Chain A
Amino acid sequence: MIDDIQRMCGAKLGPGTLYGAITRLEREKLIEPLPEEERRHPYRITALGLRLLRSKLTDINHIARIGLRRLEAL
């Protein structure tokens, strides 16, 4: 997960940050744990998590489109 985030955003996530996020997301029922696979502990996004993620990404997309349009107008 850490490597994936580093590839995608270029930011390295520390173990404290990662588990802080996992704890919060699981507490808010946005992710749920799956059975352990060879020392790996996978998590799956829940239906509620999917809805929230879709909404957040739509917002970001909306803001990015407006921002880019205004930048082009300069």
Chain B
Amino acid sequence: VSPRGARFLTRLYPATWRARYAAEFQTFLQSRHISALEALSIAGFALAERTREKWQTEKPVIPFVSVVAVTSSVSYYLGLSQARHPALWFCWAAAVLTAAAVTNPVIRLPEQNIRSVIRAPRSLIAGAAFFFSVVWVLLFAAPWSMPVATIVMWCSVITEGLACRPSSTISPQRSALIASAMLLSLGWGLLYRGSLSIVDHPLLSLTFPLLAIADKISTARRLVTRSQ
């Protein structure tokens, strides 16, 4: 591997890993030929290392992703006829509030800093009212609001992720995690708004991996019940 290639592959790993292993890993890579499959494997291990580190240091992301994933699953399970169920409404409100709390360091709002909002009760009420209003608009107002809002949120998170540098406080991995959660909500938004032809698209179906698995299990169960 050329020194440039070795440097590139090493940079895929997180900064803390590089601080310890970069020199010897680069020397090692430069001393041998690396196939495309091996390079892919290195990228996979680097991603695993980054994920391990992130999940240890940035725990707030976990409940956020979980809330969005669970809410998407519940939405899908309830189906379109039950899409306006009150329980679902609260689930999405929780998802949006958690999203605001988590993305606050990523997408810096000019005046609304979630930490200062939490410290001041008046601002907390105002902030909660603001977010619940947003949720209400998204769920019950214009039919295009949910898909547009999710697309805008998603794009802003990706833009932020691309703009981040490894040395900055907000890492691209964190943004990537948030982006994946946003992707889930995008899929849900389209499903909710009845754009079924788009929901059937294979790329969008990737946003529902858990749901796809659950669907397969329930189909298998039905088949077993029928055969009995």
Q: A14 contacts B21, CB within 8 Å?
A: no
Chain B residue contacts of A17, Cβ below 8 A = 41, 45
Whether A16 touches B42, Cβ cut-off 8 Å, given contacts A23-B49, A39-B27, is: yes
Whether A14 touches B27, Cβ cut-off 8 Å, given contacts A23-B17, A23-B21, A23-B49, is: no
Chain B residue contacts of A39, Cβ below 8 A = 27, 31
Tell which of A14, A16, A23, A39 has the most Cβ of chain B within 10 Å: A16
B111 in the interface (beta carbon within 8 A): no
17 pairs from A and B in contact (CB 8 Å cutoff): A14-B37, A14-B38, A14-B41, A14-B42, A15-B25, A15-B28, A15-B32, A15-B38, A15-B42, A16-B38, A16-B44, A16-B46, A19-B21, A20-B45, A22-B21, A41-B24, A41-B28
A19 to B41, CA, bound (A): 11
Q: B29 contacts A15, CB within 8 Å?
A: yes
Chain B residue contacts of A20, Cβ below 8 A = 45, 48-49
Q: B25 contacts A19, CB within 8 Å?
A: yes
Look across to chain B and name the residue whose beta carbon is closest to the beta carbon of A12. Answer: B38
Chain A residue contacts of B27, Cβ below 8 A = 39, 41
B164 in the interface (beta carbon within 8 A): no
Chain A residue contacts of B37, Cβ below 8 A = 14
Q: Which residues of A contact B (CB under 8 A)?
A: 14-17, 19-20, 22-23, 36, 39, 41
Question: In chain B, residues 113-172, which have Cβ atoms closer than 8 Å to a Cβ of chain A?
Answer: none
A16 to B41, CA, bound (A): 6
CB distance from A11 to the nearest CB of B (A): 13
B34 in the interface (beta carbon within 8 A): yes
A23 to B21, CA, bound (A): 9
Given A17-B45, A41-B27, 12 more contacts at CB 8 Å? A14-B37, A15-B25, A15-B29, A15-B34, A15-B41, A16-B44, A17-B41, A19-B28, A23-B17, A36-B24, A39-B27, A41-B28
A62 to B45, CA, bound (A): 33
